Structure 1
Amino acid sequence: MNDEEDEATGAPTAARVTDWITTPITSDLLRGALDVERTEHGVLPHRLPARARAQCADGQLAMAEAQPSGVRLVFRTRATAVELDTLPTKMVYQGAPPRPDGVYDLLVDGRLFGQTSVTGGNVLAVDMATGSAETRPGAVGTARFPGLPGGAKQLEIWLPHNEITQLVALRTNAAIEPVSTGDRKVWLHHGSSISQGSNAASPSTTWPALAASLGDMELINLGLGGSALLDPFTARALRDTPADAISVKIGINLVNTDLMRLRAFTPAVHGFLDTVREGHPTTPLLVLSPIFCPIHEDDPGPSVPDFSELAAGRLQFRAAGDPGELASGKLSLNVIRDELVRVVKQRAADDPHLYYLDGRDLYGEADFAELPLPDQLHPDAATHRRIGERFAALAFGAGGPFTALRARHSRS
């Protein structure tokens, strides 16, 4: 790939190390995005297609789907240095300390090699008391990864799971080429902010990313913070995306938004699964119920922020619903779990490829005692690892719904 290489290592010689090659960022270098939008600065990966985005004007959804959880640049190269110019959009809460910059993970041949962040960028300032938001423009920054090992290798740059990230320019000191997925099977997952990776340490350590790595699967993560709401356009995105295994995690956002009652919930679940099945009639489909969350196990939503410790950088949530309203159809997590069990059992009589997993098998009451949810809703980094490891064992391990898929992959 480079005319002047060290014969022993295959790395570019010192004379060539500053000869940067700029490669256009095209869809064949991107994994995990369903759409790529061209902007005045470069390209913006999206995790929902344009048609879906056009059907909902909700700002929370727009922010979540444009935060590239699970999206990564993948290519093969002999380069020993990589630079990626990006324009991030960082969120700040009025009155709270600044949030940490998003993390970029660099994997070399599947192993974490380096991490960095990009300073600057746009700022989305949110007033949680009023719900108002204002965007202040900022400058492009650069994620730098020097000192890579010599020789041909596969690089993956995982983009921050919690920052909207416009990709401006990709530079390397040797040529790059796209990499096909080969015979790796695709796992398509949909869930809430927990699935998107809220409070995870980095993009390759969200629980779905960890589970995909352990299961040797190609991940497409449609975890949408605050927006796992059984929206028909999300179901159509799942329907139209090629996949070998699909999982949908249903429940917590329906409670903490107080969006619907039991009467609407049951047919909405059926309709969502019907739509997915239109495009994937026999694909293994796993329905997951919510993980353990004490504030909403038996108390309905909405979830509301507790601002008492915000100035100290600690945001807590509490349940604002009245448990007495469960009798009139309000949703709690236990109500949702009971109904999901019933719905999956009913459908499984005609759908042998449909499965159910109780989210408390991933994170339950005993786990909460050991690793409590810092803000009462979202797991921390250690808990993401635990959930990812348990999901991999239960879904991809012996007797799991995706076991046969992994076995076929191993033999291929």
Structure 2
Amino acid sequence: MLRGALDVERTAHGILPHRLPLWARRQIPDDQLAVAEAQPSGVRLVFRTRATTIELETLPTKRVYRGFPAPADGVYDLLVDGRLAAQATVPGGNLRTIDMVTQSAELREGLPGIARFTDLPARDKAIEIWLPHTEITEVIALRTDAPVEPARGDGRRVWLHHGSSISHGSNAAHPTAIWPALAAAQGGVELVNLGFGGSALLDPFTARAMRDTPADLISIKIGINVVNSDVMRLRAFTPAVHGFLDTIREGHPTTPLLVVSPVLCPVQEDTPGPLMPDFNGGILRFKATGDPAERAAGRLTLNVIRDELARIVQQRAVGDPNLHYLDGRDLYGEKDYAELPLPDEIHPDPAGHQRIAENFARLAFGTGGMTGAPFDC
């Protein structure tokens, strides 16, 4: 019944969905990715039932930044026959407190809770329960007042996507409102979301996980984390992109593969990283701290990365006609920024997620009538 996860870990309480397999998790070099891949963005329970009451018992691990108010409890979205029908939250649980300056974290253990959905239609129906996209969620028990059976296959193609925190769902209001989920619904495809907050860094184990994951459509959104973490120069970036694509092609030699460059992010367009938190006025924003003059020495900016990704794809597409490029500014550009500015300078708000999803569905899935869309459905 679990979709969107690449692995499941047995815990003392129940099961913990993971978005990277165990062998890949053993190679993770930092706590940020270890937490991000365990947050179930795009992961959902899917089944059929006539039940009118459904309870999902879970143990969430919630995240709070030291010095800032705790965020609202994560939302569980319940869909009936593909439409959002109910929402619930699970109070309590574990609490992970993060220091934004030192990146240290403290964990306080808590108790499980129940997401309860009532007054559902008393008929046979397809149910999807999307787990909170930014809360690590151990699933303990599913309880219903009628029998449950596996959902029947609907023949939808599987879209495998990898990206950064925007793909993970930062600032989205609930799990089916992250832009990949919205775009998947509009494109009529089944989502496997490997969007990892702060961690789209061309890691070889991520490429191998994608290589080994069945998919009909693949997209990789590259660039923003490479710049804002300042982990590469141009000399290292170019072969890393080639290697990432080579590895995916080992398992998916002819699958439509879309390379997406960063959406507009004014603070990083022409200024290298690293990106640092800016608490001016008590509001969390981010600012780039690199020197634009060092671009000549190979320091990366978003514009440098867009030019290089376009060049790489053009070069490779000569022998790989199923490889395509999409400029991220066609998803969110200057006009979008003027209308829907980035609240913290790097992440869109819920309306921004909707805008990115609409543009992606139109350009990639062909829903706007475009000819030659890479994922034309």
Identity %: 69
Q: Is structure 2 residue 352 aligned with structure 1 residue 380?
A: no
- The whole-number CA distance in structure 2 between the counterparts of 1:376 and 1:228 is 18
Work out the CA distance in 2 between the residues paired with 1:73 and 1:338. Answer: 40
Equivalent in the alignment of 2:308: 339
1:16 matched residue in structure 2: none
Aligned counterpart, 2:374: 401
Q: Which amino acid aligns with 1:93?
A: Y
Counterpart of 2:241 (choices 255, 263, 269) is: 269
Q: Corresponding residue for 2:163?
A: 191
Q: Deviations over 1:364-389 (max 9, x none)?
A: 01110110000000000001001101
The alignment partner of 1:86 has SS state of strand
Find out whether 1:147 has 2:119 as its counterpart.
yes
Q: 2:271 aligns with which of 299, 303, 306?
A: 299
Matched letter for residue 42 of structure 1? G
In structure 1, the partner of 2:48 is 76
Task: State which of 13, 19, 32 in structure 1 corresponds to 2:4.
Answer: 32
CA positional deviation for 1:141: 0.7
Q: Find the partner of 2:103 among 123, 131, 150.
A: 131
- Structure 2: how far apart are the matches of 1:82 and 1:308? 45
1:240 alignment counterpart: 212
Q: CA deviation at 1:181?
A: 3.2
* Amino acid of the structure 1 residue aligned with 2:375: F
CA distance in 2, matches of 1:30, 1:112: 18
Deviation at 1:309, TM superposition (A): 3.4
Any residues of structure 2 matched to 1:33-72 within 5 Å, and which? 33-72=5-44
- Which whole-Å deviations, capped at 9, do the CAs of 1:303-334 have from their partners, x for residues lacking one? 10012234xxx310000111111111110000
CA distance in 2, matches of 1:233, 1:295: 30
* Deviation of the 1:180 alpha carbon: 3.8
Distance 2:153 2:140 in 1: 24
Counting only pairs closer than 5 Å after superposition, residues 215-254 of structure 1 correspond to structure 2 as: 215-254=187-226
Q: How many residues end up aligned between the 2 structures?
A: 373
Residue aligning to 1:8: none
Greater displacement, 322-331 / 333-342: 322-331
User: Which position in structure 1 is the counterpart of 2:182?
Assistant: 210
Secondary structure in 2 matching 1:259: coil
The Cα shift of 1:182 comes to 3.1
1:107 aligns with 2:67: no
Amino acid at match of 1:82: I
Larger Rg: 1
CA distance in 1, matches of 2:153, 2:319: 33
Q: Is residue 132 of structure 2 the alignment partner of residue 160 of structure 1?
A: yes
Structure 2: tracts of 5 or more residues without a match = none
Structure 1 unaligned segments of length 5 or more: list them: 1-28, 407-412
* Superposed CA offset, 1:220-250 (max 9, x none): 0000000000000000010000000000000
In the alignment, residue 170 of structure 1 is paired with which amino acid? L
> Separation in 2 of the partners of 1:151 and 1:336?
52
For 2:335, which of 330, 348, 366 is the aligned residue?
366
Q: Distance in 1 between matches of 2:29 and 2:14?
A: 23
SS of corresponding position for 2:161: strand
Matched position secondary structure for 1:194: helix
4+ aligned runs moved over 3 Å, structure 1: none
- AA aligned to 1:401 is P
Q: Distance in 1 between matches of 2:154 and 2:6?
A: 19
Asked if 1:182 corresponds to 2:151, the answer is no
For 2:266 and 2:280, the matched residues in 1 are separated by 20
The Cα of 1:100 is off from its aligned counterpart by 1.2
- Offset of residue 50 of structure 1: 0.5
In 2, Cα distance between equivalents of 1:127 and 1:246: 35
CA distance in 2, matches of 1:109, 1:56: 37
**Distance in 2 between the 1:352 and 1:258 partners?**
32
2 CA distance for matches of 1:395 and 1:126? Answer: 37
Give the TM-score of the pair, scaled to structure 2.
0.98
C-alpha distance in 2 between matches for 1:332 and 1:116: 41
2:92 partner SS:
coil
**What's the secondary structure of 2:102's corresponding residue?**
coil
Q: Which amino acid aligns with 1:212?
A: A
In structure 2, how many angstroms separate the alpha carbons of the residues matched to 1:100 and 1:236?
35
SS in 1 for 2:33: helix
**Alpha-carbon distance in 2 for matches of 1:373, 1:317:** 10
Where 1:204 maps in the other structure, the secondary structure is helix
